[in-house]
């Protein structure tokens, strides 16, 4: 029997790759019918980059990713508060580059590198432990026997529900995302613009596109909220000054009618801390273990760190205990830093060394 990985997202595929690199055979079960096609972007910080580079994915990622030269933190009116250089010196400092790319490209790179099977259209609905293994059950019938199960099935994880019972919690925030045209001549950088009760992040993702993420209070209308937040709407030029020229004016940013546009705010949920990340032959990684607000762009990065840690832990006699012992203190520190941003603390100020790992 091999190890079953439930969920073929960033956490699941990276876990599968890390297990394979440790010589541990595994099979991935993903509920969706096809590989991820989500268009929006993702920031891959150097702490994630180091793991992925060690798995041999650096060249494939570099073929599709943009390397930002800096991250800028600006007031809503465009005033520069801080600039963190992310170019070559940072790559040397952290041991891996900062990368910006489309999520679908990341999933494609991960899937292409995994030699084992990924079974699509298999939604796990329960597991039962038996002597020597675990049996997974799938919607629509079908079972699979595995030596152990790693739940990488996200915020609404079925595997987490087999370890402990808790509910998703509203955070009071929602996210709206869009892809808009980028200026071909612009300096590749991440710009975080802080507003009252919300913020806006933009960065290029390649292919002539820029990813925009707006964080705003749940229930607020994006166009009204971002227009009312300050001189942004009154002075589109100031928006351009902070984010580079855009083909759309800021107030209608999230109403952008292109085929890749987002526009509908999705409430951001999290869960209370999980008392144990594993039980018997079950364990969880990524958002299934520790969902967090996206304020530090670390959710996927921490999932990627989990993947390397759980695979290495399964090579030791302490198994899942070793995984949790290694990862929990670091994840709790990251979550605490993210949560500080809920109350307007400058969680995005450039003290990132401990996160990026030097």
In whole angstroms, what is the distance from residue 136 CA to residue 142 CA? 8
146 binds ligand FAD per the rule CB under 6 A: no
43 binds ligand FAD per the rule CB under 6 A: yes
What DSSP state is assigned to residue 197?
T
List the alpha helices (DSSP H) in 87-245. 88-94, 103-113, 158-163, 222-228, 231-234, 236-243
Q: How many residues bind ligand FAD (CB under 6 A)?
A: 34
In whole angstroms, what is the distance from residue 53 CA to residue 61 CA? 9
**Smaller CB separation from ligand FAD, 105 or 153:** 153
Q: Identify the residue among 134, 175, 308, 334 touching ligand FAD (CB under 6 A).
A: 175
Q: Identify the residue among 93, 108, 123, 137 touching ligand FAD (CB under 6 A).
A: 123
Q: Identify the residue among 153, 270, 305, 324 touching ligand FAD (CB under 6 A).
A: 153
Stretch touching ligand FAD by CB under 6 A, among 18-26, 63-71, 147-155, 253-261: 147-155
Minimum distance of ligand FAD from residue 56's CB (angstroms) = 20
Please name the residue that has the structure tokens 């705003």. 216
**Smaller CB separation from ligand FAD, 301 or 313:** 301
Distance, C-alpha 225 to centroid of its chain: 25
Concatenating the DSSP letter of every residue in 41-73 gives EEEE-HHHHHHHHHTT-HHHHHHH-B--SEEEE
Q: Identify the residue among 29, 254, 277, 356 touching ligand FAD (CB under 6 A).
A: 29
Q: Partners of 28 in the beta sheet?
A: 5, 118
Minimum distance of ligand FAD from residue 164's CB (angstroms) = 16
Minimum distance of ligand FAD from residue 215's CB (angstroms) = 7
Give the Cβ contact number of residue 255 at 10 Å.
13
**Smaller CB separation from ligand FAD, 287 or 324:** 287
- The SS3 assignment for 130 reads strand
In whole angstroms, what is the distance from residue 73 CA to residue 193 CA? 6
Q: Identify the residue among 66, 163, 297, 310 touching ligand FAD (CB under 6 A).
A: 297
Q: Partners of 215 in the beta sheet?
A: 175, 199
127 binds ligand FAD per the rule CB under 6 A: no
Q: What ranges make up the beta strands (E) of 22-151?
A: 26-29, 41-44, 70-75, 80-85, 99-102, 118-119, 124-130, 133-138, 143-146, 148-151
**Smaller CB separation from ligand FAD, 192 or 233:** 192
213 binds ligand FAD per the rule CB under 6 A: yes
Q: Identify the residue among 146, 303, 311, 355 touching ligand FAD (CB under 6 A).
A: 303
Site of interaction with ligand FAD (CB under 6 A): 6-12, 29-32, 42-43, 123-124, 152-155, 158, 175, 177, 213, 268, 286-288, 294, 297-301, 303
């Amino acid at each position: 029997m091999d190890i079953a990985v439930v969920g073929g997202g960033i956490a699941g595929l990276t876990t599968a790759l890390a297990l394979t690199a440790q010589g541990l055979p595994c099979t991935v079960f993903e509920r969706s019918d096809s590989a991820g096609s989500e268009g929006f972007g993702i920031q891959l910080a150097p702490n994630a980059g180091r793991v992925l580079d060690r798995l041999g994915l650096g060249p494939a990622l570099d073929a599709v990713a943009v390397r930002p030269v800096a991250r800028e933190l600006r007031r809503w009116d465009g005033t520069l508060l801080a600039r963190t250089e992310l170019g070559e010196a940072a790559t040397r400092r952290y041991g891996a580059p900062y990368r910006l790319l489309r999520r679908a490209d990341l999933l494609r790179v991960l899937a292409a590198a995994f030699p084992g099977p990924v079974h699509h259209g298999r939604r796990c609905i329960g597991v039962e432990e038996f002597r020597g293994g675990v049996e997974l059950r799938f919607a629509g019938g079908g079972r699979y026997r595995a030596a152990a199960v790693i739940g990488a099935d996200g915020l609404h994880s079925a595997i987490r529900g087999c370890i402990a019972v808790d509910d998703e919690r509203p955070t009071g925030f929602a996210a709206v995302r869009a892809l808009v045209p980028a200026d071909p001549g612009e300096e590749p950088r991440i710009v975080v613009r802080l507003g009252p009760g919300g913020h806006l992040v933009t960065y290029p993702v390649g292919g002539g596109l820029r990813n925009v993420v707006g964080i705003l209070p749940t229930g607020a209308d994006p166009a009204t909220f971002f227009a009312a937040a300050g001189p942004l709407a009154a002075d589109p030029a100031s928006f351009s000054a902070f984010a580079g020229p855009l083909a759309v004016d800021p107030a209608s940013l999230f109403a952008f009618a292109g085929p890749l546009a987002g526009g509908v705010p999705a409430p951001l949920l999290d869960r209370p801390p999980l008392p144990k990340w594993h039980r018997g032959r079950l364990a969880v990684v990524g958002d299934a273990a520790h969902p967090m607000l996206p304020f530090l762009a670390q959710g996927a990065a921490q999932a990627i760190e989990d993947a390397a840690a759980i695979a290495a832990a399964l090579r030791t006699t302490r198994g899942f205990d070793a995984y949790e012992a290694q990862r929990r203190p670091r994840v709790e520190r990251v979550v605490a830093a993210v949560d500080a941003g809920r109350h307007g603390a400058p969680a995005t100020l450039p003290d990132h060394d401990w996160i990026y790992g030097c």
